[in-house]
Amino acid sequence: MRAKFLEQLEQLNDSLVKMGVLVEQAIDNAVKALIERDTALARQIIESDDEIDSMDTEIESFCVKLILRQQPVASDLRLITSAMKMITDLERIGDHASDISEITLLLADMPYRKNLEHISQMADATTKMIKDSIDAFVNNDLELAHAVIDHDDIVDDLFVTVKKDLLALISEDANNGDQAIDLIMIAKYFERIGDHATNVAESVIYSITGVYKNEPGRQVKGS
């Protein structure tokens, strides 16, 4: 019985890794579509969000079945409930990649009035956070989970930089306003992605220690 349960937990790990890879690819493609004005890729990202949503539903159902059939206790139960929290955040990250792509379609016919270097850096930073948080879960790596949370400061600092630069662009010429606001919104989506990756890392910490990083009065980041 225990051997079967361990096999199912390994299956859960594999599913989480697969979902994490899909989300990472969605972010990579979202920033690529934005920078290269690739409307076909942007539409593909929007359409592929259904696959991430489907994985969310499938993994959640699998976790519920594990709880009902195996009736796990202590650390095993924490691991499964943490996985259920993680997929919710991963699903929201996929939604934000789709949101970014929708704005990309709106901006496709106009020249960019600002270099997108910092937004690209935000994408790289958040992708790393997602990958590392999943790796931390699979490998029970508490140190890596804490490193993910610390890395969110980089994303937050980049967001402040992007917002400051784009608000200055509006001050220079009010005609830049619409595009600047759209780009600020894209940066905000990446900032939220960082928050969700932080939530994933906090779920990893809970699965290992039984304590949420921000207890007491834990604040769940993102929306």
What is the structure's pLDDT at 217? 40
Q: What's the CATH code of the domain at 50?
A: 1.20.58.220
Q: Is the pLDDT of residue 220 over 50?
A: no
Q: Is residue 220 part of a domain?
A: no
Q: Is residue 218 part of a domain?
A: no
Alpha-carbon span 85 to 122, nearest angstrom: 24
Of 208, 87, 78, 80, the closest CA to residue 143 belongs to 208
Q: Is the pLDDT of residue 31 over 60?
A: yes
Q: Is the pLDDT of residue 213 over 80?
A: no
CA distances from 190 to 65, 87, 91, 158 (A): 33, 18, 14, 10
Instruction: Calculate helix-pair angle for 74-107, 39-70, nearest 10 degrees.
Output: 160
Q: Is residue 32 part of a domain?
A: yes
Q: What's the domain range around 155?
A: 2-209
Q: Is residue 204 part of a domain?
A: yes
Cβ count near 109 (within 10 Å): 8
Which three-class secondary structure state does DSSP give residue 7?
Answer: helix
What is the structure's pLDDT at 114? 87
Q: Which is higher by pLDDT, 109 or 54? A: 54
Q: Is the pLDDT of residue 215 over 70?
A: no
Q: Is residue 190 part of a domain?
A: yes
For the whole prediction, is pTM greater than 0.85?
yes
Using alpha carbons only, give the angle 51, 137, 124 rounded to the nearest 5 degrees.
65
9-23, 114-128, 152-166, 206-220: least confident range: 206-220
For residues 203 and 85, the answer to whether their CB atoms sit within 8 Å is: yes
Give the count of domains, the chain.
1
Cβ count near 185 (within 10 Å): 12
Q: Is residue 13 part of a domain?
A: yes
Which residues 6+ apart lie within 8 Å of 178 measured at CB?
none
Q: Is residue 217 part of a domain?
A: no
